[in-house]
Amino acid sequence: MKRGLFLLTAFALMFSAPLFAQSSAAGEARINIVKYSDYQCPACKYYVPIEKQLKEEYGDEISITTKHFPLSMHEFAQVAARAAEAARVQGKYQEMHDMIFGGQEQWARGNAETMFLGYARELDLDVEKFRNDMNSAEMQRIVMADKREGLELDVNSTPTFYVNGIKVERNPRTAAEFKTIIEDIVN
């Protein structure tokens, strides 16, 4: 049985190598979580505080990488993902990520791009560079590469989590439940 589990884990890791491509810390951490996410998805927003709690509890042992998976039903999910990537160019990805999720209810009703420009100002980014990057083909390519990767892994909803390359089939409702899943996979 252990050999079968080992082979299954090895297979999952071998075919999920792209899951770790965007995070340099992923190779160093004992626990690597990849989340396929949509910034306009309320369920994805729900997990932001849970992720923060996991980071606090596990410290350097955990790496959480967000991959873009904008759903077609969410009108502003694409521009939100491009805004996060444009902020990454100026070293403020996590701050923009948190602001986008924090303001989800407002920008999801419309005027999203203008709100993201306001967030860029609040973060003291070069706003013109941010605007150009947010609307660039390069940012669109990054977002769509993540989405294609997710589709290849049979991601069909958000959020979808992978822990050390193994897909979490049923999303946990609490940080404690998430921690149990992590420990079951890692140990």
Provide the residue ranges of all domains of the chain, joining segments of one domain with +: 2-186
Question: Rounded to an integer, what distance in angstroms lies between the CA atom of residue 152 and that of residue 179?
Answer: 27
51 and 65 Cβ atoms separated by less than 8 Å: no
User: Which residue ranges of the chain lie beneath pLDDT 70?
Assistant: 1-27
C-alpha dist (Å) from residue 164 to 11, 44, 54, 78, 125:
12, 19, 15, 27, 34
Tokens in use for 39?
Answer: 């910034």
Q: Tell me how far apart the alpha carbons of residues 100 and 84 are, in angstroms, rounded to a whole number.
A: 8
pLDDT digits (tens, 9 = 90+) for 99-111: 999 999 999 999 9
Yes or no: domain 2-186 corresponds to CATH 3.40.30.10? yes
Tokens standing for residue 182: 């992590």
The pTM score is: 0.84
